[in-house]
Amino acid sequence: MKDNLAAIRADLLPAQDLIVREFVLGWTGAPRAGLLYLDGLADTDFLQRDVLKPLTLSGDRLAENQLRGRGDLLGQLEEKLLPIAQVRRSSDRRELRQAILEGDGALLIEGCSQGLILGVRGYDTRAISEPTTEGVVRGPRDGFTEEIKTNLSLIRRRLPSRQLAVEFLQLGDYTRTRVALVYMKELARPGLVEEVRRRLAAIRIDGILESGYIEEFIEDNSWSIYPQLERTERPDKVTAGLLEGRVAIVTQNTPFVLLLPTVVFQFLHSPEDYYERPFIAAALRLMRLANLIVSLLGPSLYVAVLSYHQAMLPSPLDLTISAARQGVPFPVFVEAFAMEFTFEVLREAGVRLPRPIGQAVSIVGALVIGDSAVRAGLVSPITVIVVAVTGIANFTLPGFGGATAIRLLRFLSIILAGLLGLFGVIALLALVIFHLASLESFGVPYLAPLAPLNLKDLKDIFFRAPWWTMKKRPGIFAPKTAPPGERQR
Amino acid sequence: MKDPGITPYQFGALISSTILATNILFIPSYVVNRVGEAGWLTLFFAAVLDVTVGALLFYLGRKFPEQNFIQYSLTLAGPLLGSLINLIYLGFLLLAAAMSVRSFGDFITENYLPATPRSFIIYLVVFVAGVGANHGLESIARAGELITPVAVGLLFLIFFLVSPDITLARLRPVTLGAAVPALRASLVPTALFGECVIMAMLMPFVQEQRKTLLAKGTAVAVASLITALLVAASVGVFGAVQTGNFTCALNQLTRIISVAGFLERLEALFMSVWMLTAFLKIALFLWVVAWGLRQWWNLSDYRPLLLPLGFLLAALSEVFASNCPELLTYLSYHPYFALPVEVGITSFLVLLGWVRFRGKGGSAADKLAGGHR
């Protein structure tokens, strides 16, 4: 025990937050013991109440047994004295050390080559709060936190099914980040889980700090600007995904859970679509689709039409725009590009600035800069309108990753529109379509179910059919069992 | 390299887009110029002839379900003649693509970007199509599945929106006498529709191969119907003489659309539709030529061929004609080159197939294997 204790301490040196408590077990002639844990990671109250107290104050009952030689001491302690749910034995010094580092306590007893690992992790975690990125009007308000246990519990309490599988693995040579692979045994497409496991196992990295690291390692095409995995802070979204036969990857230290496979249309869907009435959901989805198009093509069409195809405008509109642009010293391309750039700057500033002033700066900044720029005659009010509408339209897209990709493409399309007019925009559009068509997410085409076409699945893409008509699970994720009601539970 | 797989619907979408990309630009004016009021009839003759060729190719494709044109031409005509056929066939497809690229370049520079060098447009078009071809047939097919319904839908919308301006009287007289010139003038659209011999290269990849002919027929019917409707609409709006004098009648046609004084001048819409289908078609043809060469020469990958083929395509389209009128003039001679390839070679192969592998049941490949056993 002394050797082990000294060795572990030496390994961890200098670690002054390592607490080593040596004491004598509470019966006559009892051996000495040592308890090791890291301050702040293990629950001190718990250790004092349920480890130290019974061990130091226990009577002679155990001693009798020990003297009679019935069973080993550790076994007796484990079975009779320690009221702790998670206890395991280990004779491996490295395992003990790792357990201490991850927040467990280690109990070493004189005369025993083995040690006990006590599951007493108890560090401060953030409480469950409303997700900040995916708000809904109607729907559950709980969001994932940084603690994997909490996150798994949020899923478990929605899915108390024996079919829910949770597999743990640790990624990152130094961070040893706990990652959970969650799926429905009965529903996930055969081979999918194996494929995910294979890709996860291939990850070689020092540390995983966020699920984004994992995403880049396991996605099919990491050179694409489109995310091929869905990330979400919402447990209801993950649960819905699991029920469709998808796989979730929960990562320690981040509220963002990955869902795969993913199709591009998922970035147009909000969980609320499934809670609200179908007509409203359909209207919202169509609006988001329109917003997607506006957000991608709005400014570039504006630039293309004004620079090259002015004849396409109806005369009154043309006159209005020309009047508004009178005196503006820049070509419309420069104007639009500069305004878009300013918008992105303000948006980024809004994210980075300290929270209390962030929002104020972004709004006032936009108003002041926009307004003064127009008054000074540097940009036309029409450009400001186009840019503002585009920006707002982009905010309505629920999938943040997809929306960001579109922001990037928007700049490219403005440049092409400035260079080549409508032809440039369409050329870019063709490139984007070819690219999207080539993407796959874990064997599912990214544009499914539109291309390849699956008519049955289309009822949950541009609109949502009422729940009672959706009798089958979406075929794009190819769940393997019969629909509900047609199988034994 | 893994063989791609496409659905019959995707196959049909690709065929439709190929036809639309080639035909909606210059053909309407051309046929009206030659035939007058009954110009739209030519498109139906072309469709019928094309589906006939399609049926011949279907027969060959079913005889050799695992093989495409490049492979079975070697089996049927022997290595020497087969290689010659392959050379002509692939060359023809590349030339067809070059024609599209060139029309693209001319259309853009004439109508929208007069100050931009045509070469720049051509290289950009070839680049975009090359990227598409690089992604492979499945991606092209999915893109086609996405683009074609939108394109067809928008063309129908355009027809719907111009329909109030159509004066039916302008479409008369349609007499039986128009049928003969129509038949003669239909050679050009037939030659262009006939580019769908590309079907022979796609057939082995179509899942549910039996449905290929149905998909082909439907695709040709839809594409020719919408083109014919728009030709008729153009004549109904402008009259035969004026339609015949335009370079691109449908572009002019979309200009007159005016709904509630707001939705006006939809040529941008027309142009976008056409450009998307053209990108699709050129990408498809590039892929097919590269894939064909790969099989013919027993290479392991087709993608390295795309770069030289792309340059060849761009160069071909540059030297194709010295200006737009010359391109249009060539169009009327195109059938004399295209039809022997499309109809002639196909019929020749069918004849060979019929003679060499006569009898019912079983694919030719089975019989070959049986013969060697």
Q: What is the pLDDT of residues B259-293, one digit of tens each?
A: 777 667 778 888 888 899 999 999 999 999 999 99
Residue B117 identity: P
Contact A430 B140 (CB under 8 A): no
The verdict on B276 touching A (C-beta cutoff 8 Å) is yes
The ipTM is 0.91
Q: How far is A122 from chain B (nearest CA, A)?
A: 51
The per-residue pLDDT for range B305-357, each reduced to its tens digit, is: 999 999 999 999 988 888 878 888 888 888 888 888 888 888 888 888 888 87
CB B186 within 8 A of CB B46: yes
* Domain boundary assignment for chain B: 8-360
The verdict on A451 touching B (C-beta cutoff 8 Å) is yes
**What pLDDT is stored for residue B370 in this prediction?**
44
Q: Which residues contact A189 (CB under 8 A, 6 or more apart)?
A: A245, A443, A477, A478, A479, A480
Whose CA is closest to A189, among A476, A399, A397? A476
For residues B14-25, give the mean pLDDT.
90
User: pTM, whole model, 2 decimals?
Assistant: 0.89
Among A420, A426, A453, beta carbon nearest to B272: A426
Instruction: Take residue A323 and report the two structure tokens written for it.
Output: 């009047």
Among A305, A434, A452, beta carbon nearest to B131: A434
Contacts of B2 in chain A (CB under 8 A): none
Provide CATH code, domain B8-360: 1.20.1740.10
Selected for mutation to probe chain B from A220, A434, A444 (highest B CB count within 10 Å) is A434
Q: How far is B251 from chain A (nearest CA, A)?
A: 12
**What pLDDT is stored for residue A479 in this prediction?**
62
Whose CA is closest to A416, among A314, A242, A296? A296
Q: Which residues of A371-391 are buried (b: 16+ CB within 10 A; e: fewer)?
A: eebbeeebbbbbbbebbeebb
Taking one residue from A and the other from B, the number of pairs with CB-CB distance under 8 angstroms is: 98
Q: How far is B240 from chain A (nearest CA, A)?
A: 25
Q: What is d(CA A354, CA A301) in angstroms, rounded to the nearest whole number?
A: 36
Ramachandran bin of B84, using left for φ above 0, alpha for ψ from -120 to 50, beta for the remaining angles: alpha
**What pLDDT is stored for residue A428 in this prediction?**
94
Across all residues in chain B, what is the average pLDDT?
86
* Closest residue in B to A311 (Cα–Cα): B265
Q: For residue B26, is pLDDT > 50?
A: yes
The per-residue pLDDT for range B192-218, each reduced to its tens digit, is: 888 888 888 898 898 888 888 899 999
Among A420, A438, A450, beta carbon nearest to B139: A438
The verdict on A431 touching B (C-beta cutoff 8 Å) is yes
Contact A434 B140 (CB under 8 A): yes
Contacts of A441 in chain B (CB under 8 A): none
- Give the DSSP H/E element, type plus range, for residue A32: strand A32-38
* Domain boundary assignment for chain A: 2-118, 148-262, 274-445
Whose CA is closest to B91, among B292, B271, B357? B292
Mean pLDDT, consecutive 10-residue segments, chain A of 489 residues? 79 84 80 88 87 78 59 75 84 87 88 85 87 86 92 94 92 91 89 92 92 91 89 93 93 93 88 89 91 92 89 83 88 91 84 74 71 84 90 85 86 93 92 92 87 82 85 74 46
Q: Which residues of B356-366 are buried (b: 16+ CB within 10 A; e: fewer)?
A: ebeeeeebbbe
Give CA separation, A486 vs A160, A341, A460, A483, B211, in Å: 20, 55, 21, 6, 32
Q: Which residues contact B242 (CB under 8 A, 6 or more apart)?
A: none
Q: For residue B360, is pLDDT > 60?
A: no
